[in-house]
Amino acid sequence: MTAEHAKALARLAGSSTLEEINDRAWRIRKAAPADSIAPYCEKGAHRLRFMPEGRRFADLKLLAMDMDSTLITIECIDELGDMAGCKTEIAAITAQAMRGELDYPQSLRKRVGLLKNLADTALTRVYDERLKLTPGAEALISACKKHGVKLLLVSGGFTFFTDRLKQRLGIDFTISNRSKRKTASSPAG
């Protein structure tokens, strides 16, 4: 986030008190929620969290974050679907679930069913070739560690990805789905 973006966001939040945390992060003091903030942040791919005035980052004990499209820039199951030639079908099932037409277990079973013939090597390929951390993720994790904040990574995805990110980034805890498939590189894959 640039200084200009931070100033615009401060104006939307009714504040003129802006502090630079680093070259891509800002603290806006005396900010108030407004309906225009979320669309502004979404359009610019900016991450924003409100923290009560007087609270410090070091006061946090646990940071829980989602994996897909939050800590990382992709949806792993969509990328697996792309490799299996069924990304559109998987996205359609996800959309049904988001509209409440399917519950999560149903949608997961349907999506995974489309991947049944996918080679186990596709998991490794998605991780190695397509999985990228969201800009600022490593800085956030570093700040958490510096202040003793524990990290929890949650995902509707699979342990194959969360376990690797846990090890790579030093995340304390993960919660995700376990696959029944066995792979050479991951016994719980």
List residues with catalytic annotation.
66, 68
Question: d(Cα 69, Cα 57) in Å, to the nearest integer?
Answer: 23
Question: d(Cα 19, Cα 26) in Å, to the nearest integer?
Answer: 6
- Nearest one of 145, 149, 136, 142 to 55, comparing CA atoms: 149
Cα 22–chain centre separation: 21
The values of phi and psi at residue 169, to 5°, are -105, -5
